[in-house]
Amino acid sequence: MSKSNNLGDIDVTALEGLASNLPTTQPVKDKPNKDKAEKDVTITLRIPPRIAKDLKIKAATADKTQRELILEGLKLMGIDVRDEDIADRRKS
């Protein structure tokens, strides 16, 4: 006997049984793969012009990017920054 529905003579119980074997409509998110590189997150920071100028000069003098200097500073503060996080990512 079929359930009461607005689908006429369709046996909803049979359809539910079939549907239970189908994948869900929303994919299940896999656990992050440690081998996959994480995408960087963009942050915006407003700093005084004198600090921006000094950062540019230090970066140019050290032949590093501003990003590298900032990440090195965060590492010195005790934030978990790995060497591969700091590496220059500009295309050569």
In whole angstroms, how far apart are CA 90 and each of 37, 44, 69?
16, 19, 14
* Domain assignment of residue 92, yes or no: no
Quick check: is 91 in a domain?
no
What is the pLDDT at residue 5?
A: 57
The reply to whether 80 falls in a domain is: yes
Total domain count, the chain: 1
Least confident of 2-6, 21-25, 46-50, 81-85: 2-6
Six token digits for residue 73: 């500073």
3 within domain boundaries:
no
Higher pLDDT, 91 or 69: 69
The residue-averaged pLDDT of 30-55 equals 84
Residue whose entry in the numeric block shows the structure tokens 């090195």: 72
Q: Which domain holds residue 62?
A: 12-86
